[in-house]
Structure 1
Amino acid sequence: MALSKTDTAETAPVAREEDTGARHVAIIMDGNGRWATQRGWPRLAGHRKGAEQIRKIVQAAPDLGIRYLTIYAFSTENWKRSTAEVLGLMKMFRLMIRREADELARQGVELRFIGDRTRLDPLLRETMDAIEARTKGNTRLTLAVAINYGGRDELRRAALELARDLAAGRISEEEVDEAAISARLDTRGMPDPDLVIRTSGETRISNFLSWQAAYSEYEFTPTLWPDFTPGELADILARFGARERRFGGVAS
């Protein structure tokens, strides 16, 4: 299914980047399963509906001033879910990536994946690699999809890479600073998120972007992800634009 234009009822007034300052927005897309359960449907039906909302948000993001969008699709802890749900999600990821490739490329979206790929199905990894290569260099929006991602696991992998580089003499102890760590994270080359949004009413970060979100602003909304619209995103961005970010300093 191709990325479709946002319905008029869900379209909010455009907020430009200079209005909100939210260049990088990260979203914990929570509530798919509950949305389906409330309707007496299988949990995977909620995930499919949630995928439709991703299309709408991706399409709306550049006009809302967003240059980088990171979405939490599957965590390192999500393997604890039922085998049927996990297998269904992996199949859905693969089919969605294939279906969306043409439209993402046409829209100027660069797609990249963050997380540990070693546990993923080889066919899914091949599909991920192919669309990353195809959309590399697109500049309208960078969409980072977190699959088998955990903030602590990412830091573990970065620490191992840093240790190997130290042992090999590629970096000295004096050069180990925050920039050296950031350069070894999955999000290297991307700015830290300005704003992290979590849907469904939960108020925790669930191991998402532990390092990168140290100074991010947070917004928790009770809306379940399948009901989250570009209009609500625009409202959240407007509120974000009114916040004063001091990064540990004091108000001027």
Structure 2
Amino acid sequence: MSSRTRTLLNRTYERLLQREVDGAPSHVAVIQDGNRRYADEHGKDAADGHRAGAETTEDVLDWCAECGVEELTLYTFSTENFDRPPGEREHLFGMLEEKLHEFAEADRVHDSEVRIRAIGETGRLPDSLRDAIDYAERRTRAYDELTLNIALAYGGRTELLGAARNAARAVESGDLAPGDIDVEEVEHRLANGPARDVDLIIRTGGDERTSNFLPWHANGNEAAVFFCTPYWPAFAKKDFLRAIRTYESREHSWRRTRARRALALVRAAGGAELDEARAIVERLAEYLPRGALDGIETADADPDPVASD
């Protein structure tokens, strides 16, 4: 197949996927895997793979803005990555520093009102990289259309351990009662984490694992997960749209299940006392089979409820 034919087919497939996508997750998190393997397959150095991956990151930022994603978190450098060879690590830090300065000045960032944040143990990073983080955060602090979280020196267990220790110190000092430690309290102590729960995790490179990434915000929210084989530098818009479609399919399935459970509860209890369950049934009626609400009194006492297939 010629490259021209392949390009035409890819564009046609993208347009098809674009028509199928009718909504977007609020928060997408990406495990950008495969930069080094991409470089190996192309006979290049790891540094070249990281540079190619940085270009993909810029594209994904545009795709998120187009689709209406409100928050994007990129797993850029994990705590385990400190074990990489010093030369590769230093090059990666230098490239990140350069890209943060570029992003802070980029028209696409300011036109789309993208707020840049770093999450993780940033104190472990070199001074020059921390300065670049501070600069990018200050330049974009006023924006709120799309938040870009760059996970640097990040580890999910470390994040949770920090929140637990923080709460323990508050209990020990008498500022917090043990019984007051609830979901909201823990989220408050996840100091610099994402603002929203994760709706969709994307992992490139072929591995099917989430690698200690945002366990509180993703696992706790039962986020959809999309694994794909392209290495991060080869990740294309069609792959991104397929991931969004996976999220939508899972979301529809979850809503359908919730509606059916609420309907069964209403029927089992006679309906009159279960206002909340009846309200759920009414709100999610489109996910129930036609006629499923026949004989069920809805929350607003509509005598003739209609549900679509």
- TM-score normalized with structure 1 length: 0.89
Query: Which AA in structure 2 matches 1:205?
Result: T
Shift of residue 166, structure 1, vs aligned partner: 2.1
Q: Determine whether 1:220 maps to 2:227.
A: yes
User: 2:120 maps to which residue?
Assistant: 115
Shift of residue 137, structure 1, vs aligned partner: 2.7
Q: Give the whole-Å Cα distance in 2 for the aligned partners of 1:153 and 1:201.
A: 25
Q: Give the whole-Å Cα distance in 2 for the aligned partners of 1:60 and 1:159.
A: 36
Q: Give the whole-Å Cα distance in 1 for the aligned partners of 2:253 and 2:121.
A: 32
Shift of residue 163, structure 1, vs aligned partner: 1.7
Q: CA 1:174/1:199 → structure 2, altered by over 3 Å: closer, same or farther?
A: same
Do 2:205 and 2:228's aligned partners in 1 also have CA atoms closer than 8 Å? yes
- TM-score normalized with structure 2 length: 0.73
Q: Determine whether 1:23 maps to 2:26.
A: yes
Q: Give the whole-Å Cα distance in 2 for the aligned partners of 1:135 and 1:57.
A: 18
User: 1:4 maps to which residue?
Assistant: none
Do 2:114 and 2:147's aligned partners in 1 also have CA atoms closer than 8 Å? yes
**In the TM superposition, what are the counterparts of 1:179-218 in structure 2 within 5 Å?**
179-188=184-193, 190-214=195-219, 215-218=222-225
Q: Determine whether 1:90 maps to 2:88.
A: no
Query: Which AA in structure 1 matches 2:64?
Result: A
Shift of residue 189, structure 1, vs aligned partner: 6.0
Do 2:101 and 2:135's aligned partners in 1 also have CA atoms closer than 8 Å? no
**In the TM superposition, what are the counterparts of 1:62-211 in structure 2 within 5 Å?**
62-103=65-106, 104-188=109-193, 190-211=195-216
Cα distance per residue 1:11-39 (max 9 Å; x no partner): 945959x9334110000000000000001
Do 1:183 and 1:189's aligned partners in 2 also have CA atoms closer than 8 Å? no
Figure out how many residues of one structure are paired with residues of the other and give that number.
244
Shift of residue 169, structure 1, vs aligned partner: 2.9
Query: Which AA in structure 1 matches 2:232?
Result: W
Do 1:109 and 1:142's aligned partners in 2 also have CA atoms closer than 8 Å? yes
Q: Give the whole-Å Cα distance in 2 for the aligned partners of 1:72 and 1:61.
A: 16
Do 2:75 and 2:213's aligned partners in 1 also have CA atoms closer than 8 Å? yes
Gaps of 5+ in 2: 1-6, 261-309
Shift of residue 187, structure 1, vs aligned partner: 5.0
Larger RCO (CA within 8 A; separation ≥ 6): 1
Q: CA 1:59/1:83 → structure 2, altered by over 3 Å: closer, same or farther?
A: same
Shift of residue 250, structure 1, vs aligned partner: 4.7
Bigger Rg, structure 1 or 2 = 2
User: 1:236 maps to which residue?
Assistant: 243
User: 1:3 maps to which residue?
Assistant: none
Do 2:34 and 2:232's aligned partners in 1 also have CA atoms closer than 8 Å? yes
Q: Give the whole-Å Cα distance in 2 for the aligned partners of 1:141 and 1:36.
A: 30
Query: Which AA in structure 2 matches 1:156?
Result: L
**In the TM superposition, what are the counterparts of 1:26-45 in structure 2 within 5 Å?**
26-45=29-48
